[in-house]
Chain A
Amino acid sequence: MPEAPLEPVRLAPTRPRAVLLFLAVFTFFFSAYMFTASADFFSTGDTTIRIEVAENILGRFSVDLHGWILKYPHHVKKEYFDPRISQGRDGKVFSTYLLGQPLMIMPFDLAGQQIAIHFRWPYGPTVLWFDRMVGPFTGAIEITLFFLFAMRLGYGRRRALLLTGIFGFATSAWPDAESVLEHTEVTFFLLLAFYAAFRAKQQRAGPAYLVLAGVGIGGAAITRYQDAFLGGLALGLYLLLVNGVANRWREQIRDAILVGVGLAPFVALDLWYNWYRFGSIFASGHHETVFGYAIWKGAAGLLISPGKGLLWYSPVIFLLVFAAPKFYRRYSALAISFAALALSFFLLYGYVTYWHGDPTWGPRYVYSTLPFLTLPLGELFLPSFRRLRTVWMITLAVVGISFAIQLSAVAVSPWRTWYRVIAYEENQGSKWTWIASRYRYFWNIHESPLNFQIHGLYQLTYDGIIHSNKYELVPPDEDPILDGMTVDFAINQWNFWWKSNEFDWWMGQRKIIEGVIMLVALMLASGTYLTAEAAGIFTEASEEPVDVPEPAEAA
């Protein structure tokens, strides 16, 4: 049965109010994410390579890594080549990463170049720091889109804001944005695709929104094509279900064409990019064996393993037990396609030989499923659930625990946790090597990064309050791996950029104080407005109430 289109839900009674609400949500989360941005802005090699690509495009209008020389000894098998870079046309070195994040980085890079000159700051760290603002920025637009989606699902302004707060601060979306890896961008584009399709099919927003859905899948396709592929399949399933599987085949074809129109330029860009780098439209530059891990083992590792399971990294997902049935009854097509999307991510990445994506914080490959697993939780704030006291108490506790985990992930350098994982392994008699296939901490609860990270939060708090060095990590002599980690990463300091001492010696303490005041003031300004909107202070008598009545079940 096709689902009947619902009445469109308005963000606010007037367009200026809607724009103001949109800007306030974006400003609040961008300021908050910038305020909590990491001091460690030069250690993620993946991001650094993408920054290099952006700078090559800006400086030379070329995508090869100029000046890079890639040479392996003859005895090294292709299997062990660095999967992030590869030799391509004319012997030049190219990144195997796609253009999505470099394109997003370019405006930040340009701004960083001007700022470095203006402030007479060292050029390298200034530009690198500005480039890394792309993480908080994409995080903030992702959260803002999430808020719009929650509103359109009929949760009402107050519940949508509450749910957005949970998504923004009590799921791994927060540390993911601070990591400045490309998953935040992929998540934004996949969310855009579903948001636009939902608006087109269930809220009468017009066919242009289906083109926008294609653009969403396309944006993901130029960032991580495998994620876009999974997103495309789930979106196709949604369109199939919402139109009715056995009905309206003309509409199915029309929808597919509209989505295709939005997607086509991005696919063309991907194919051209492959051809330009490696001489074939299907060549990716990868030499390693990507697939072959036992799927059940990988998927279980990504979902429930103590060291890598998404359920432990974002425990709010547990609340789906209560919320999912209700959400399914209201939006069955959306619920099934969200579930299919999440399932496909776990199955695909469970099959990947480096399923864990380490070294990193949590199961980053499946972070793109987070908004789809969080949106249904809005059901918990509807009147029917509010009457269930036990559910509310559980919800509060789980959200609190989930927030504490995210706070520890952004407040303490995850490299401090890696130090302790390595030290644990060395104490067990193992020699540590940075080879992905040899990591084995996932199923041992004693060396779960979650344990170490939360303990790290306690340790830094203790040392900070008592002014002691009790928990300072000091490497043993002649241990180059642990020694390197203490030198390369500020693991004994708070990870917030303004709290560490990584900036004051080149930026100056005054600039840091002014920057912090600016960010906190922006958070307070936008936060005050959002609180007022949630409290209904600007709601007129003729308007619908802020906390709208429970929406009817669809179809």
Chain B
Amino acid sequence: MNVRKPFAQGLVIALVALFIGVAGTAAVLAYIPDPGSNPAVFDDFNWSSTANGFWHVNAIGATAIIKSGVLTLSGHSIELDRRLQTDPRVTIAAAKVRGLQFRRFGLGLGVYHAGTVALEFDNEGFKCGRGSDFGWRVDLMKSWTIPPAGQWFILKVKVTNPYPTAKSRAKVAGLDAAKLKPVTVQCSVYDANGKLISTVTPTDPQPNAHYDALDEAYMRTWDSGNLYQLDWFYAGPPTTSVGGSVLN
């Protein structure tokens, strides 16, 4: 027993050293910083972005299937989020969408796990929604009794920072967050050719989101019986590289 003890002690010390070495290496690797959030998100659904962590997917009785460059959201409730670094001046969330069975669909920008501004596209019409001091409020942009099944639309939510420059931010640096100006939200809907169908800038009540807090883009369905398809999704600063000129 005494002969074997030094061997056992050596083995334990070697194992402990090995595990500490592994832990230390993992810690050092983990300490290398990320490249950070992308300044823009674009997905044309030509790869499996719902399965590889590009999108955070929370599905409840629903599926998100990518096939032939189209994302199909069907069933009950599904939420897809992607972290986003907002542009200092203006940030857009937009998508080319069609409904095959209408119930509830929305896309927009949010604060971690909480949709804050959204354009809803459902069995009642297009609605511009935002969080306000009076709770969630929507402005109806266009309504219908028979939803336009199968017709592609481009939905766009544009959020403008009231303090876009370093100078304007410096002026309010000492102010209470409650006294800062909220963002301006504009919702617009275009047909597949880029022709404007409806636009609204809701002010009654005005949104209460603060631009600095926005850190994600998202799309989601809720309630049952949804069947929506997306050709592409974009979030970031105004651009001409996606959706013709409507995202400029």
- What is A's interface to B at a CB cutoff of 8 Å? 42, 66-67, 118-125, 469, 472-475, 477-478, 483, 486-487, 490, 492, 501-502, 504-506, 508-509, 511, 514-515, 517-519, 521-522, 524-525, 528-529, 532, 537-538, 541
B112 touches A125 (CB 8 A): yes
Contact flag A120-B37 (CB < 8 Å), given A504-B56, A528-B12: yes
- Listed by A's residue number, 30 A-B pairs whose Cβ atoms lie within 8 Å are A42-B113, A66-B176, A119-B33, A122-B37, A124-B112, A124-B215, A469-B61, A474-B61, A475-B60, A478-B223, A483-B77, A483-B223, A486-B60, A487-B60, A492-B60, A501-B53, A501-B58, A505-B56, A506-B112, A511-B30, A517-B26, A518-B30, A521-B19, A525-B16, A528-B12, A528-B16, A529-B12, A529-B16, A537-B8, A537-B12
Contacts of A125 in B (CB 8 A): 112
| Any A CB within 8 A of the CB of B178 | yes
B22 contacts the other chain (CB 8 A): yes
Known contacts A478-B223, A517-B26; A538 and B60 CB within 8 A of each other: no
Q: Look across to chain A and name the residue whose beta carbon is closest to the beta carbon of B56.
A: A505
Which residues of B lie under 8 Å from residue A525 when comparing CB positions?
Answer: 15-16, 19-20, 23
Closest-by-CB residue of A relative to B178 is A67
Within 8 A of A (CB), among B95-154: 111-113
CB pair A118–B33 under 8 Å, yes or no, is yes
Q: Closest 4 A-B residue pairs measured CB to CB?
A: A474-B61, A120-B36, A525-B19, A505-B56
What B residues does A522 contact at CB under 8 A?
19-20, 23
Contact status A509-B53, CB under 8 Å: yes
| Cβ-based interface call for B168 (8 A) | no
Instruction: Indicate if the CB atoms of B16 and A537 lie closer than 8 Å.
Output: no
Say if the beta carbon of B231 comes within 8 Å of chain A: no
Instruction: Decide if B190 is an interface residue (CB 8 Å cutoff).
Output: no
The secondary structure that dominates the B interface is: mixed
B215 adjacent to A67 (CB under 8 Å)? no
CA distance A469 to B60 in the complex (A): 9
Interface residues of B (CB under 8 A from A): 2, 5, 8-9, 12, 15-16, 19-20, 22-23, 26-27, 29-31, 33-37, 53-61, 76-77, 79, 81-83, 111-113, 176-178, 213, 215-216, 222-224
| Bound CA–CA A467/B195 (angstroms) | 45
- For A492, what are the chain B residues with a Cβ–Cβ distance below 8 Å? 59-60
Contact A487 B222 (CB under 8 A): yes
**A518-B23 contact in complex given A120-B33, A487-B222, C-beta closer than 8 Å:** yes
Q: Which chain B residues lie closer than 8 Å to A528 at the CB level?
A: 12, 15-16, 19
Closest to A539 in B: B5
Distance between Cα atoms of A518 and B20 in the complex (Å): 9
Minimum CB distance partner of A524 in chain B: B19
In the assembled complex, which residues on chain A have CB atoms less than 8 Å from the CB atom of B59?
492
B216 contacts across to A, CB distance below 8 A = 122
Which residues on A sit within 8 Å (CB–CB) of B8?
A: 532, 537
List chain B residues, Cβ under 8 A from A42: 112-113
The reply to whether A486 and B77 contact each other, CB–CB distance below 8 Å, is yes
Task: Contact check, B22 vs A472: say whether CB atoms are below 8 A apart.
Answer: no
Q: Are B30 and A514 in contact (CB under 8 A)?
A: yes
Quick one: given A483-B222, A501-B53, A521-B20, are A490 and B58 in contact (CB under 8 Å)?
A: yes
Among residues of B, the one whose C-beta sits closest to the C-beta of A532 is: B12
Across-interface contacts of A486 in B (CB, < 8 A) = 60, 77
A144 CB to nearest chain B CB (Å)? 18
Most buried by B among A124, A478, A483, A487: A487
B residues in contact with A506, CB < 8 Å: 56, 83, 112
B224, closest chain A residue (CB): A477
Q: In the complex, what distance in Å separates the CA atom of A502 from the CA atom of B79?
A: 12
| Alpha-carbon gap, A541 to B178, bound state (A) | 70
Known pairs A66-B176, A118-B33, A505-B54 / 19 extra A-B pairs, C-beta < 8 Å: A67-B177, A118-B31, A119-B33, A123-B215, A124-B112, A474-B76, A475-B60, A483-B77, A483-B222, A492-B60, A501-B58, A504-B56, A505-B83, A506-B83, A514-B29, A515-B30, A521-B22, A525-B15, A532-B9
Q: In the assembled complex, which residues on chain A have CB atoms less than 8 Å from the CB atom of B53? A: 501, 504-505, 508-509
Most buried by A among B34, B37, B77, B213: B34
Question: Bound complex: CA of A515 vs CA of B30, how far in Å?
Answer: 7
Docked Cα-Cα span, A522 to B18, in Å, equals 10
Residues of A within 8 A of B30 (CB): 511, 514-515, 518
A527's closest neighbor in chain B, by CB?
B19
CA distance A505 to B2 in the complex (A): 54
* Min CB–CB distance A526 → chain B (angstroms): 8
B34 lies within 8 A of A119 (CB): yes
The smallest beta-carbon distance between A57 and chain B, in angstroms, is: 17
Report chain B residues within 8 Å CB of A521: 19-20, 22-23, 26
Give CA–CA (A541, B2) in the complex, Å: 9
Query: Given the interface contacts A67-B176, A486-B60, A522-B19, does A120 sit within 8 Å of B35 by beta carbon?
Result: yes
- Residue in A closest to B54 when the chains form the complex, CB atoms: A505
Nearest-CB distance from B15 to chain A (Å)? 5
> Which residues of the other chain, A, contact B19 by a CB distance below 8 angstroms?
521-522, 524-525, 528
A404–B226 Cα distance when bound, in Å, is 39
A487–B113 Cα distance when bound, in Å, is 9
Q: How far is the CB of B156 from chain A (nearest CB, A)?
A: 23
Least CB distance from A4 to B in Å reads: 37
